[in-house]
Structure 1
Amino acid sequence: MCGIVGAVSSKNIVEVLIEGLRRLEYRGYDSCGFAVINSANAKHPIERARTTARVAELAEQGKQFIGTLGIAHTRWATHGKPDTQNAHPHISNGLIAVVHNGIIENYEALRTELQSAGYVFSSETDTEVIAHLIHQAYLAEGQKDLGFAVRSVLPRLHGAYAVGVIAQDHPDVLIGARVGSPLVIALGDGENFLASDALALAGRAHSMVYLEEGDVAVIKASAIQILDQSGKEVKRASKPMPAQSEAVDLGPYQHYMQKEIFEQPRAIGDTLANITQFGPELFGAKPADWNAFDQILILACGTSYYSACVAKYWLEEIAGIPTQVEIASEYRYRKTVSLPNTLVIVVSQSGETADTLAALRHAKSLGHLFTLAICNVASSAMVRETDWHFLTKAGTEIGVASTKAFTTQLLALYILTLSIAKRAGKLDPDQEKKLLRELRHLPKALHSVLALEPQIIAWSEAFAKCENALFLGRGMHYPIALEGALKLKEISYIHAEAYPAGELKHGPLALVTDKMPVVTIAPKDELLEKLKSNMQEVKARGGMLYVFADHDTDIVNTDGIHVIRLPEHYGNLSPILHVVPLQLLAYHTACARGTDVDKPRNLAKSVTVE
């Protein structure tokens, strides 16, 4: 959610700010803006541009500006409606400009206090209190030390945030600070940068430094200084800056979501590339610790939660280990029974999901001894804060609706399952080789499923005319039905629900008419005959069934039943394959309805607020 870009240089950095925001558009936003200072101007006032349109509109405004110091932002509205007045940057009395990611939980009390002190607010945001508090501290301190002013204000802010700050009378200083929300410094030649995501500055600098919790960075064109929470100067490890990613280029695709759906064979192949056996070394664990946990708790949100729900079936059925799955935003606020010998797993594409991070910290505070992150970003907070990790190789995912991150999460959780099964003596060497061969076949199998796209496009034309849809699955395919419904509602704005097919008669059957399509996932497994009975319940009420079936099921196209057959039967790997046609169905339905596929309304890619 939201995106921060900052720069300080001897050259004009307006285009750098705009390009950085353009690369962060995938996160989702309602407004955007920048503020710059031109050090060549003797009076160097803070100049600002803001819009509720796209970054392209901001770029047009930016042609009128020159600045050697600046901050920029894409805003996803939390406090205050999405309009220009609430767009960042916020400026206090022409002196201090601030951009901010996150939420200030005690902003109402701070706002009241500042109003009593004579400050006038021009927005409804929680961010404006930061600007005024820094202004107040900056003047009170006497020496007008911007870094000191920011450090003195941070303890008063309750919540998770990252900020970028500039001051009118310091045209060569950029301040960055983070508590609970990511922030990276990018180091260039005679210029330095700040961003909430390294992608914003890829190819722009030679190295980068991730700020740690509570850090404040004083950034100049020629040097940086990082201070910890106590005000002590610290050194943070630098890493090479990634080259500009090809992921930001659409190539022949119409949308990033479509591109990322078709990248899944590559993503799966890359994630599997160096795996020759299952075991603790894949997760960075020592054998003694690997053998010490006796149950599992998985914490996740959204799409990642559905991957965890599939994993529960695998872990209990294949590895024989008790497993609980919790929605992170619920777990962190409820009283739980803590058993120390539990492996706590957090699953997140970005590794910065606020609720999942908070749930991880809560679990650790309860005394859980073992933690593992499954994540797509090596430098993320979750990877740094867990004992072990498994990095998926999905690559940059720009579309808000997750696709390749989901399938690689499923793959990682399946690999985890087999590694625990091996520990329990449930996997002999011959079985291990056989399962590795099956995994190596996944990219080819995915290509075969993607070839079904023309048939799915034909279905999408009917779906585009509907306002409601029902998704059904059984066993480990029920979470896949949930994921399919989520994808459809996210990007097409069609109301979609998912149910275990056996629950139809307990309520959802009342909704079934010929106006509501019922999508059914029908793999050839031990529940297939039960599922067929559930399908007949729909058909008997005049419902229209759209069935994704394995190639060797005997479900056929008849009046009221439309069938697309997947090329193979995939066994335990079936969820990874069956979700792909659901992604394509959601994508093409959204295209037929003319929605903004990559940036659906009200949603953001990286959910870094509670």
Structure 2
Amino acid sequence: MCGVVGVAGVGDAQKEILGMLTNLEYRGYDSSGMAVLSNGRLHVVKRQGALSELKKELAKPSVPLHGSSGIGHTRWATHGAPSDINAHPHLSSDGKVAIVHNGIIENYKPIKEQLLDDGYVFQSETDSEVIANLAAKLYQECGAGSYRQVLSRLQSRLVGAYAVVIQFADAPDLIGGIRNECPLNYIQNDGQSAISSDLSSLVSYGRDVFCLKDKQCVILGNEGVEVFDESGAESEAIAITINWSVEKARKDGYDTFLQKEIHEEPAAAQAFCREIRNHRAALDAYLKQHSFTKIVVVACGSASFSAIFAEALARQFELPVDVISEVGSEMRYNPPIISSTTLVLAISQSGETADTIGAVKAAKQKGAQVVAFVNVAGSTLEFVSDLVLPLSAGPEISVPSTKTVTNMFLAVYFFLDAMRQALSGARDESWFTSAEDFRAALAEMVGREREFRSIADRISGYQSCFAIGRGVDFSIAKETALKFKETSYLHCEAMNAGEFKHGSISLIEYGMPVLCILTDQAQRKKMVSNINEVRARGAQCIVISDLQPTEIEDAEAMTVITVPAVGPVWNTILTLVVAHYISFLIGTLRGIDVDRPRNLAKSVTVE
């Protein structure tokens, strides 16, 4: 969602904030802005649109902001349309407080009504502006220099999910922050302080970072760091070390982050397999300690397709445990039966997905245990889980997720294989042996751009298509459909191939592209029949399979993309990169900003 940042004690606050916002733009690009404190006054510049619009405004001779402290924001709109006036930062009506905010304030209406009665003026349609005016009122009540009191009282008054960075007009080298259910991290080195909702904008200041916990407050200033809770009592943030360099968050010669991250899929997969091996003993001990009768795999977006994959794979493995997939936004309010013998397996790139976290918290209240696969260290999901396992994909900047998705599918495969061995009492290392063959096959796949481009050229002019699969392949069809929609704005509907003939096949017109995933060995013959049914109606079938064309009936009448044969399950996961690459190429052919598709943000931290 929105990106929030702040700096204090730096030489050029405008330059530092722009650098941080550049690394955060994928969290929201409806508008951006900054406030810099200079000569006792908070100067605010903000503009609707991409960060480039703000940069244009700041390039005007009369506009540059000079100061050593400031705050900044990139917005994904929730309350109020994208506009200059609704952009952040928001100033209190007396001009003494500026804030930037990520999240939603659920009780903003009664607070706003009270502040209006007290004479405070509001300019925007946002829920965020109440924070600035409430902070100004609290500061007036508490007295000059009462920054700690203001933050703790502000924390106790707000209801919702939020990360707020706050600046006071009478505090030249001080910034504050409060957090609840939205990430907020900080670092202080050599007198310089930086705070941000995302680690990618902090890594240039150092790798030893602190993550606030829910309901914590922080003040960063010349006299050091103060962390405390809403009662004002001293508290401790969580210390983490960022294990990647700032270069990892750059394009490295690629035109887009999306293409770069697709090409990083082999290295990301290798990193996951190497790192998860170090966690195998802890997972084995955990599974031995507990006896689960049900596993609920919960996630949102692309991660939810790895949950669907897990459910299908568990059936193929014939695990004597009920494994079901759930979408986080639905599970919280319409949950399956959960008990103390239920394991919730939560999967998230950011670890901040509000719907997934809400579902996990609700399940824990019913006694469930939680294991989480997370890509970002120090995330909220880590705090609420009993065992955390890393996805190890490295920073992912493009809004459409690719390398992390591949690692999510690897993660659930690894987990179910470990579960199968735990239940049988056997132990072998064959999964890790095959993992290296998988990495090599994945490296081969990302080198086949010419083949994928010819397909993208052929179907980029269509407005609608289908992706179909059976068994474990249906999860790949779901990911294919989502990537086509979000990356290329080409409407793609995922269907269980066997269900296609029960209505949706009526939409097939001559030449319509249908992407057919064909790797599930148990349903291979049935899937080929389904492909022929669609082709008979005039569809343009693009088959993604581990079979050679000579092994597929009437293959000469289709386009066949053959993935290298690594083994069952591995071959299925390999097909993901085909969907990622083709959707990326279609998006570029259509002139779309594939890194920042419209209306989307990387980390959805609100419900």
Question: Which band: TM-score by shorter chain?
Answer: over 0.9
Q: Deviations over 1:30-74 (max 9, x none)?
A: 111000102xx2xx2110111123323423444511111211010
2:22 equivalent in structure 1: 22
Is 2:598 the partner of 1:601? yes
- Give the number of aligned pairs: 599
Match of 1:505, SS? coil
Alignment partner, residue 563 of structure 1: 560
**Alpha-carbon spacing, 1:297–1:524, altered in 2? closer, same or farther (3 Å):** closer
8 Å contact 1:188–1:206 — kept in the other structure? no
Residue 97, structure 1, aligned to residue 98, structure 2 = yes
| Residues 284 and 18 of structure 1: CA distance in aligned 2, closer, same or farther (over 3 Å) | farther
Partners in 2 of 1:310 and 1:603 — Cα distance? 24
TM-score by length of 1: 0.94
Once structures 1 and 2 are overlaid, which stretch shifts more, 566-575 or 472-481?
A: 566-575
Using the TM superposition, name which of 267-276 and 353-362 deviates more. 267-276
Q: Secondary structure at 2:462's aligned position in 1? A: coil
Q: Aligned-pair distance for 1:256?
A: 0.8
Sequence identity (%): 35
Aligned residue in 2 for 1:226: 227
Q: Is the 8 A contact 1:5 1:195 kept in 2?
A: yes
Give the aligned partner of residue 410 of structure 2. Answer: 411
Contact persistence 1:284–1:388 (CA under 8 A): no
Give the stretch that moved more between structures: 441-450 or 145-154: 145-154
Say whether 1:80 aligns with 2:80: yes
Q: For 2:552 and 2:511, locate their aligned partners in 1 and report how far apart those are by CA, in whole Å.
A: 26
Q: Is the aligned partner of 1:445 residue 2:441?
A: yes
Measured at CA, do residues 544 and 330 of structure 1 come closer, stay the same or move farther in structure 2, by a change above 3 Å?
same
Question: What is the CA–CA distance in structure 2 between the aligned matches of 1:89 and 1:166, rounded to whole Å?
Answer: 10
Q: Within 5 Å, give how 1:230-241 maps onto structure 2.
A: 230-240=231-241
**How far apart are 1:210 and its partner, in Å?**
1.1
Q: What is the CA deviation profile of residues 316-368 of structure 1, one whole-angstrom value per residue up to 9, with x for unaligned ones?
A: 33244211111111111125422211111110011111111111111111121
Q: For the structure 1 residues 537 and 226, does the alpha-carbon distance in structure 2 shift closer, same or farther, using more than 3 Å as the test?
A: same
SS at match of 1:7: strand
Quick check: 140-149 or 486-495, which moved more?
140-149
2:292 corresponds in structure 1 to 293
1:324 and 2:324 correspond: yes
Distance 1:65 1:531 in 2: 62
Given that residues 203 and 242 in structure 1 are in contact (C-alpha distance below 8 angstroms), is that contact kept between their aligned partners in structure 2? no
Deviations 1:232-276 (A, max 9, x none): 012334344666422222123221111111111111111112566
Take 1:443 and 1:242, find their aligned partners in 2: how far apart are those partners? Answer: 21
Deviations 1:503-543 (A, max 9, x none): 01112101110253111111261212111211122122222
The letter for the 2-side match of 1:390 is: L
Partner of 2:460: 464
User: Which residue is 2:391 aligned to?
Assistant: 392
Change (3 A) 1:204 1:56: farther
1:156–1:323 distance in 2 versus 1, CA, 3 Å: same
* 1:495 corresponding residue in structure 2: 491
Instruction: Note if contact 1:189-1:205 (Cα within 8 Å) is conserved in structure 2.
Output: no
Match of 1:578 in 2: 575
Give 1:454 deviation, angstroms: 1.2
* 8 Å Cα contact 2:414-2:431 kept in structure 1: no
- Any stretches of 5+ residues in structure 2 without a counterpart? none
Q: Does 1:160 align with 2:161?
A: yes
Q: CA deviation at 1:226?
A: 0.9
Residue of structure 2 in register with 1:118 after alignment: 119
Structure 2 residue aligned with 1:475, among 446, 471, 474?
Answer: 471
CA contact (8 A) 2:3 2:28 kept: no
Deviates more, 1:121-130 or 1:531-540: 531-540
TM-score computed with the length of structure 2 as normaliser: 0.94
Q: Amino acid of the residue matched to residue 450 of structure 2?
A: P
Summarize the Cα distance change of 1:52–1:277 in structure 2 as closer, same or farther, 3 Å threshold: closer
Verify the 8 A CA contact 1:80 1:86 in the aligned structure 2.
Answer: yes
Residue 504 of structure 1 corresponds to which residue in structure 2?
A: 500
1:47 to 34, 43, 67: 43
Residues 1:278 and 1:17: Cα distance change in structure 2 (over 3 Å): closer
Deviation at 1:125, TM superposition (A): 0.7
Q: Deviations over 1:475-518 (max 9, x none)?
A: 00101100000000001111111000000111210111025311
**Residues 14, 266 of structure 1: CA spacing in aligned structure 2 closer, same or farther, 3 A cutoff?**
same
Change (3 A) 1:275 1:143: closer
**Matching of residue 345 in structure 1 with residue 342 in structure 2:** no
Which amino acid is 2:405 matched to? Answer: F
In 1, are the aligned partners of 2:519 and 2:546 still within 8 Å (CA)? yes
SS of residue paired to 1:399: coil
Look up the match of 1:146: 147
Q: Look up the SS of the partner of 2:205 in the other structure.
A: coil
Amino acid at match of 1:585: I
Q: Using the alignment, how far apart are the partners of 2:258 and 2:328 within structure 1?
A: 26
* Structure 1 residue 206: Cα displacement: 6.0
CA distance in 2, matches of 1:237, 1:509: 53
Secondary structure at 1:122 match in 2: coil
Residue deviations 1:386-426 (CA, integer Å, cap 9, x gap) = 11121011000111111110111111111111111111117
Match of 1:485 in 2: 481
Q: Structure 1 545/433 Cα, relative in aligned 2: closer, same or farther at 3 Å? A: same
Deviation at 1:144, TM superposition (A): 5.3
Shift of 1:152: 1.5
Give the 3 Å change call, closer, same or farther, for CA 335–241 of structure 1 in structure 2.
closer
- Give the match for residue 70 of structure 1: 70
Residues 37, 68 of structure 2: 8 Å contact kept:
yes
**1:122, CA displacement in angstroms?**
1.0
Residue 473 of structure 2 contacts residue 572 of structure 2 at CA under 8 Å; is this kept in 1?
yes
Partner of 1:447: helix, strand, or coil?
A: helix
Please give the alpha-carbon distance, in whole angstroms, between the structure 1 residues aligned to 2:572 and 2:360. 26
Instruction: Verify the 8 A CA contact 2:279 2:389 in the aligned structure 1.
Output: no
1:554 corresponds to = 552
CA contact (8 A) 1:89 1:99 kept: yes
Q: Which moved more, 1:152-161 or 1:311-320?
A: 311-320
Residues 441-478 of structure 1: per-residue CA shift (max 9 Å, x gap): 11111122223321111111122101111110000010
The structure-2 alpha-carbon separation of the partners of 1:103 and 1:332, relative to structure 1 and needing over 3 Å to count, comes to: same
**Two-structure CA RMSD over aligned residues (Å):** 2.0
| CA spacing shift, 1:436–1:505, aligned 2, 3 Å | same
Tell me how far apart the structure 1 counterparts of residues 485 and 176 of structure 2 sit (CA, whole Å). Answer: 40
Q: C-alpha displacement at 1:81, in angstroms?
A: 0.9
SS of the residue 2:569 aligns to:
helix
Residue 172 of structure 1, CA deviation? 2.7
Residue 186 (structure 1) aligns with: 187
Distance in 1 between the 2:26 and 2:222 partners?
28
Kindly indicate whether the alpha-carbon contact (under 8 Å) linking 1:472 and 1:500 is maintained by their aligned counterparts in 2.
yes
Match of 2:371 in 1: 372
Structure 1 residues 218 and 435: CA distance shift in structure 2, 3 A: closer
The one-letter code sitting in structure 1 at the alignment partner of 2:404 is A
SS of structure 2 residue aligned to 1:563: strand
Secondary structure in 1 aligned to 2:135? helix
C-alpha displacement of 1:114: 2.3
SS of 2:393's equivalent in the other structure is coil
Shift of residue 147, structure 1, vs aligned partner? 2.8
